[in-house]
């Protein structure tokens, strides 16, 4: 059985011009009348072999100060910031830095298609996930950590144009912090389609204001959002991450400028889930760069746990049993403007497509695997089966938009 999507608007100018998409909330452009389409002028791949990927990124930005950038950070970049966190076998580059130009035109009339094979969907066994959750609970009981985020992969075969799939998903879900980009590396093609609702960091250069909006606590959209707002487990989970993010921001901010401007709010995303967030702001110290900000804050605390370093070590231990590394999942996409302002997303609700490219389009695959990770935050009173169901709730977007035969949370 093969499912084929309706054609969607292709990339502009020519079929061989690479294009990226950004949701309006992710774009740092002040002129929101501009389209969220970007033409990629050049792609720089910063591989895991680079001794200091973040410094290399900063050098690129400093060398081209008048450019827009779309920057994709892999979760595995964490190892270069904190060497006590083991690296994985992922071949996904640590950083994809794409110089780009915003465009409001789309004059290509070709029609592109994509297809998936739903009956070849693979899902991690429930028994495996509940077992690693129980191991995490043992670590919490022993005092190693307070919280850890654990994920598992869902995979399905893919063919065709990833840009077409991205536009279909953008229209279906209207993501707040979504993005699409595509690049070639080591004879493979990669596409990253993020439908993220979560802000990692925003930075307003004129006022030097940093804002982070961590997200913790999930319930189905069919439930009463007040239940999530008042749930003591979810409230405690978010409070832990508020403390972590305050600590991260304090390392790069003017003393006493770090403040929680909204301790708790509940939002509904994709008409599928309610999620709780908090908002924390600070003022960046003088003479610090994007590299300094990333070294202090990456990866996002909401998808690691607390304390962050020990949580990442446990994530590696427990998730490394899977053959599918996180790669772009739980990393970040950054949209950087020439003045230094940027918006960035936590790459959750994110699809990673990897496979054999075609020569008909910079976004097309002859054959590939689509991977979607889904996870949950584990705290002391977590129930392994309930956490499994939360991961399924977060994955229902694949069922509603792509008709993938995922089990329904019980």
- Say whether pLDDT at 204 is over 70: yes
Residue pLDDT, tens place only, 207-220 = 999 999 999 888 88
- Can you point out the beta strands (E) in 19-120? 19-22, 37-46, 68-73, 95-103, 114-116
Predicted local distance difference test score (pLDDT) of residue 10: 35
Residue pLDDT, tens place only, 295-341 = 999 999 999 999 999 999 999 999 987 668 999 999 999 999 999 99
What are the phi and psi torsion angles at 287 (to 5°)?
Answer: 70, 15
- Say whether pLDDT at 1 is over 50: no
Predicted local distance difference test score (pLDDT) of residue 5: 37
Residue pLDDT, tens place only, 258-296 = 999 999 999 887 777 888 999 999 999 999 999 999 999
Stretch 12-29: mean pLDDT: 74
pTM for the model: 0.92
**Least confident piece of the model among 123-127, 129-133, 321-325:** 321-325
d(CA 289, CA 208): 11
Residue pLDDT, tens place only, 218-262 = 888 889 989 889 989 889 889 999 999 999 999 999 999 999 999
Predicted local distance difference test score (pLDDT) of residue 29: 62
Domains assigned to the chain: 11-402 (3.60.120.10)
Residue pLDDT, tens place only, 62-119 = 999 999 999 999 999 999 999 999 988 888 999 999 999 887 655 443 567 999 999 9
**Which long-range CB contacts under 8 A does 90-94 form with residues at least 24 apart?**
90/48, 90/325, 90/326, 90/327, 91/185, 91/186, 91/188, 92/185, 92/190, 92/325, 92/327, 92/328, 92/352, 92/354, 93/45, 93/46, 93/47, 93/48, 93/185, 94/46, 94/47, 94/48, 94/50, 94/53
Residue pLDDT, tens place only, 369-406 = 999 999 999 999 999 999 999 999 999 999 999 999 99
What are the phi and psi torsion angles at 216 (to 5°)?
Answer: -150, 130
Catalytic positions: 198, 216
Q: Quick one: 265 exposed, middle or buried, by C-beta within 10 A (0-12, 13-18, 19+)?
A: middle
Residue pLDDT, tens place only, 163-187 = 999 999 999 999 999 999 999 998 9
């Amino acid at each position: 059985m093969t499912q084929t999507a309706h054609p969607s608007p292709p990339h502009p100018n020519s079929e061989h011009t690479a294009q990226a998409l950004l949701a309006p909330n992710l774009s740092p452009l002040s002129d929101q009348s501009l389209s969220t389409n970007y033409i990629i002028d050049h792609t720089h791949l910063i591989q895991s072999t680079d001794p200091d990927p973040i410094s290399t990124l900063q050098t690129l930005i400093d060398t081209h100060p008048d450019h827009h950038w779309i920057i994709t950070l892999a979760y595995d970049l964490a190892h270069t910031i904190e060497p006590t966190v083991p690296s994985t076998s992922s071949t996904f580059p640590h950083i994809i830095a794409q110089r780009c130009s915003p465009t409001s035109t789309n004059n290509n009339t070709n029609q592109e298609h994509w297809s998936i094979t739903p009956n070849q969907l693979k899902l991690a066994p429930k028994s495996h996930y509940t077992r690693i959750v129980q191991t995490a609970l043992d670590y919490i009981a022993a005092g190693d950590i307070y919280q850890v985020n654990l994920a598992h992969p869902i995979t399905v075969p893919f063919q065709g144009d990833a840009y077409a799939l991205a536009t279909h998903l953008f229209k279906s879900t209207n993501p707040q912090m979504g993005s699409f980009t595509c690049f070639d590396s080591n004879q493979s093609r990669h596409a990253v389609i993020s439908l993220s609702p979560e802000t990692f960091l925003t930075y307003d250069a004129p006022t030097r204001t940093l804002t982070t909006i961590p997200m913790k606590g999930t319930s189905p959209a069919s439930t009463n959002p007040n239940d999530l707002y008042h749930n003591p487990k979810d409230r405690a989970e978010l409070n832990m991450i508020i403390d972590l993010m305050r600590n991260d921001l304090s390392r790069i901010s003017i003393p006493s400028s770090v403040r929680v401007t909204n301790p708790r709010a509940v939002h509904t995303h994709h008409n599928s889930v309610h999620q709780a967030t908090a908002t924390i702001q600070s003022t960046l110290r003088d003479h610090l760069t994007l590299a300094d900000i990333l070294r202090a804050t990456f990866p996002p605390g909401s998808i690691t746990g607390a304390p962050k370093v020990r949580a990442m070590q446990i994530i590696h231990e427990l998730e490394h049993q899977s053959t599918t590394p996180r790669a772009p999942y739980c990393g970040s996409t950054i949209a950087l403007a020439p003045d230094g302002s940027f918006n960035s997303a936590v790459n959750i609700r994110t699809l990673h497509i990897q496979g054999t490219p075609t020569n008909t389009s910079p976004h097309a695959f002859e054959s590939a695997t689509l991977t979607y990770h889904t996870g949950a935050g584990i705290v002391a009173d977590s129930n392994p089966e309930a956490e499994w169901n939360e991961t399924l709730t977060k994955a229902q977007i694949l069922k509603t938009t792509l008709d993938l035969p995922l089990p329904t949370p019980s």
